[in-house]
A and B are shown apart, each in its own frame.
Chain A
Amino acid sequence: MRTLVVFCNPVPDSFGACVRDEIISSISPHEARLVDLYGGRDLPRPFGQHDVGALQWAEAVVLTYPTFWSSFPAPLMAWVEDGLDRELWRGIHRVVAVATHGSSRLVNMLSGGIDRRIVRRGLPRLMAPGAYGRFIALYSMDTIDDDQRRKFLASLPLTLGGALD
């Protein structure tokens, strides 16, 4: 499945970059494309012609980001919305979020879990018929140890494979 990986993280050498690399290496090379919203700059770039082509090319979209205020970082939400406004999600069959959270699963549930619901229920209705969304998350990023982070990375090819199946 032609998969567009959208990476939105202000810090280029963060743990999120390891997650991104793991995602890309678990997709076969000729079927993966990357959109990096910050791309090492201080501020992200806006939605452009390149993104139109990328969404028209893709059958699946993987969004990977750190969770800010129980949702996507603002520039990623803007990127998703700009695509929706242009009806570019109509040809997409799968959407997967791979999110990292500073706080625990419980805190995320209490505070809203906004991104989870958008990915699982909101977006699929605006995509191709029969499309669905999956949500993969690593919680309590700030308190777990490196072993648990490595375990999460190692589990990604399998969970992502299942989500994109």
Chain B
Amino acid sequence: MLVVAPTSPDGRELQHAQAARLALRPNFIVETIDLVAENVTPAMSRTERLRYQSGDPVVDPAIGVHTELVARADAMVFVFPTRWWTPPPVLKAWIERVFVPDVAFVLDDHRVRPNLRQLRAVVGITTHAHPEVIGHGGDGARRMLLRTMRLNAPRRVRTDWLVDPDDAVISKRLSRL
């Protein structure tokens, strides 16, 4: 599964996504979600928050389609710009709304238990990251996608992180998955 948030002015993320798609194609059936083209709402709504722990947390049908893709994904690749420290709001909100109870994890007496049983690899490809800004405020994007994600994934999930890579690097690293 390839999730793209092309929110930077130069749209470099789309170019990286294309390279990622080509690299993944020999080994995976690639499903692409473009959060900007699909006009995904960049916030969790009140209705969604109220239903979060109800056992029926999906309100938006488009998000429902995405939760099905997430539940059966073997690998997830995220392509996005890092504006200051974190992924763009449209991607952060999408994660909040799609990685919900009974999809990404199960709440067992208020403890988070992983539920993405299929997942074998998570890769982040980020553009526009400023090393100095991240040096102070922390690499929130990387922590969110690789560490927080681990709470939902099997213990042996593989992770990789690419910062402003060229196409050859994307091709090399993704064909290893």
Residues of chain A touching chain B, judged by Cβ–Cβ distance below 8 Å, are: 10-12, 38, 41-44, 68-75, 77-78, 81, 84-85, 102-103, 107, 110-114, 117-118, 121-123, 125, 142-143
Contact = CB atoms under 8 A, between A and B. Distances in A.
Nearest to A68: B96
A74 B96 contact: yes
B49 A123 contact: no
B43 A103 contact: no
Interface of B: 41-50, 83-86, 89-90, 92-93, 95-96, 99, 110, 112, 133, 136-138, 140, 143-144, 147-148, 150-151
Contact of A68 (B44, B83, B84, B110): B44
Contact of B144 (A70, A73, A107): A70
B147 A112 contact: yes
A100 to B, nearest CB: 13
Contacts of A114: 85-86, 138, 140, 143-144
6 contacts: A69-B95, A70-B148, A74-B44, A85-B83, A111-B147, A114-B140
Contacts, number: 112
A38 B46 contact: yes
Contacts of B89: 74-75, 77-78, 81
Nearest to A115: B140
Given A74-B90, A110-B147, 15 more contacts: A11-B46, A42-B45, A43-B46, A69-B148, A71-B140, A74-B89, A74-B93, A75-B89, A85-B83, A111-B150, A112-B140, A113-B143, A114-B138, A114-B140, A117-B140
Nearest to B109: A143
A11 B43 contact: no
Contact of B43 (A75, A85, A113): A75
A71 B110 CA distance: 19
Contacts of A113: 143
Contacts of B45: 10, 42-43
A70 B144 CA distance: 7
Given A42-B45, A73-B96, A77-B89, A143 B50 contact: no
Contacts of A69: 92, 95-96, 99, 144, 148
A49 to B, nearest CB: 20
A103 B42 CA distance: 24
Residue from the set A42, A117, A122, A123 with the largest chain B CB neighbour count within 10 Å? A122
